[in-house]
Structure 1
């Protein structure tokens, strides 16, 4: 595989991961806005919307770390492959 093809595939993969995060975040906002509205109109004396908001929010944080964190550029598997290639080339 040529370097430009590899770069394209890597760029495509990163864009797909970022788009997945954007979609996940959008669904989170829409659904939780609906839950907040439902909670405040039906049972304003109890704030139960906090639980799904926080629980799902934890999932969003982990998704963001996976997509944008320090290991998002090169996976552990790719790093190991590169090390093995370097050993074989010497």
Structure 2
């Protein structure tokens, strides 16, 4: 692989990981708001959207992290992926 291909793949992987972090943040914010609304109304309906969306978030995480590896912030991710891809170069 040349350096341009490594850079493109590293950015793609880092973007996928950042997408999951954003997804998780939105999940937490929305479900905390729904939990507050449910607590105010005295009902337990909040578990259903949390479980359904949680399943989707879990599947998203499995796809991103099992296929692309572990993560961090976007710039850190790009650097890690670039290093990993550079190590995969064929020495011959």
Q: Same fold (TM over 0.5)?
A: yes
Give the gaps of 5 or more residues in structure 2: 70-92
Partner residue, 1:60: 57
The 1-side partners of 2:26 and 2:68 are apart by 22
The 2-side partners of 1:20 and 1:72 are apart by 13
Aligned residues: 69
The 2-side partners of 1:10 and 1:33 are apart by 35
Tell me the TM-score normalized by structure 1.
0.72
The 1-side partners of 2:52 and 2:8 are apart by 34
RMSD across aligned positions (CA): 1.3
* Deviant stretches of 4+, over 6 Å: none
Is 1:24–2:20 an aligned residue pair? no
Choose the corresponding residue for 1:72, options 64, 68, 73.
Answer: 68
Is 1:7–2:2 an aligned residue pair? no
Partner residue, 2:47: 50
The 2-side partners of 1:67 and 1:49 are apart by 27
Tell me the TM-score normalized by structure 2.
0.71
The 2-side partners of 1:5 and 1:72 are apart by 18
Q: CA deviation at 1:72?
A: 3.3
